Structure formats: structure tokens, C-alpha cells
Amino acid sequence: MGKAAVLLRGVFPPIPTPFDGRGDVAYQSLVENVRRWNQYDLAGYVVLGSNGEGVYLSEEEKVRVWETVREAVPEDKVLIAGAGCESTRQTIALVRRAAQAGADAVLLVTPHYYAGRMTPESLIRHYEAVADSSPVPVVLYTVPKFTQVDLDAATIARIARHPNVIGVKDTSGNLAKMADTVRLTGPDFQVLAGSAGFF
């Protein structure tokens, strides 16, 4: 699968996941929200990123959220599914389920529970193994505010050599790092600004 398999141009809001008073996912409210957002010129949606609170959902809830959004979203809008987990095996399994649920690409946060052990080499091995097994393109996700793990530009560039890794969502707010990432990865690798401060 080539780098152009999914084009990440335009606005991809990281949508919130609605919950009811008991703490269950409010799937009908989710459908209503997506139908409302479909009226705008959005390129697609990031589903179960940080804003979607995916860390609080079971695997079955995640799959149902992706399926619910996919059914409510026109085929011409890209669905990027937040599917990163702490272990490589778990991430691979969830990525496959995201693809089956209709995701066009997956957004993979850095493993971070053992942040001090997340060396560039360990992160490269993790992402390459997932990308090898993923049926859909992979977007790296660096969100150091929450994870305390920041993918530097050189590490991103090494991971970007994999043909199934098409981009990165960078929420670090570090413009110099983003510029280095663009310079080191080349024109086919897509760099997304994931922080509102960029706009």
C-alpha cells in the first residue's frame, strides 16, 4: 500500500464520544452529531483520538463506535480510527478490527506506560511491526502532553520509510520540530498539526 492510499488534506476534527447519564456510549447521539457535522466541508473525522476518550472504552465499545460513525459518514469522508495500545500485539489486533469496522486509516499513539523505556529503537520496532500487519495506512500520533513520550523528527523520518506509514499527527506545538519532520520525510509523508495553537 503506497503513501498516497489515503490523502490527509483538509480538516479532520477529533470528534468527542457522547455518553449517557450511566456512563454508557450514547450511540444515537453520536449519529446525530456526525450527521450535523457532515453538513460542513470536512475531509473526515478522527474517531477515538484523545478527544474521543478511547482510553476509557472497551474493545467492543471502540469497534461499535467506529462502525456507528462509518455508517453515518459518506464514503468520500476519511475515517481515521484511534487504535493505539500499549503492546504491539494488542495494537495489531485492534488495528485489524478498526479496518474491518470501516476505518480508512489508523492513528497510533506512542506506547507510554513505560515511558523511560521508549527509546527511538523500541518505537521504530513497534510501529514497523504494526505497519507490517495493518490492512490500512498508519498515521503516527505524538501527544507528549499526555504520554510524556515525544517522537522526534529523526525517529519519525525513520518510521516514515515504511510504505504503510503515511503521516504523523503532531500535538507537541513545536513548530521547529514539525519543520524538521517535513524536511526529513519528504513530500509524500503527511504532517498534521494536532494542536489548536497552530491555527
**181-198, pLDDT tens digit by residue?**
999 998 899 998 876 555
Which residues are paired to 142 by β-bridges? 170
Write the single-letter amino acid at 79: L
pTM of the model: 0.92
> Does 77 qualify as catalytic in the annotation?
no
For residue 91, is pLDDT > 90?
A: yes
**115-160, pLDDT tens digit by residue?**
888 899 999 999 999 999 999 999 999 988 888 889 999 999 999 9
Nearest to 169 by CA among 194, 197, 186: 194
CA 110/CA 125 separation, integer angstroms: 12
Q: What domains appear along the chain, each with residue ranges and CATH number?
A: 10-198 (3.20.20.70)
For residue 1, is pLDDT > 50?
A: no
CA 102/CA 131 separation, integer angstroms: 17
For the four alpha carbons of 59, 61, 63 and 65, in that order, the dihedral sign comes to negative
Q: Which of 77, 145, 169, 177 is catalytic?
A: 169
Please, what is the average pLDDT of the chain? 92
Integer CA distances (angstroms), 62 to 7, 20, 24, 47, 106, in order = 24, 16, 12, 9, 13
Helix axes 27-37, 59-72, angle to 10 degrees: 40
For the four alpha carbons of 113, 145, 66 and 6, in that order, the dihedral sign comes to negative
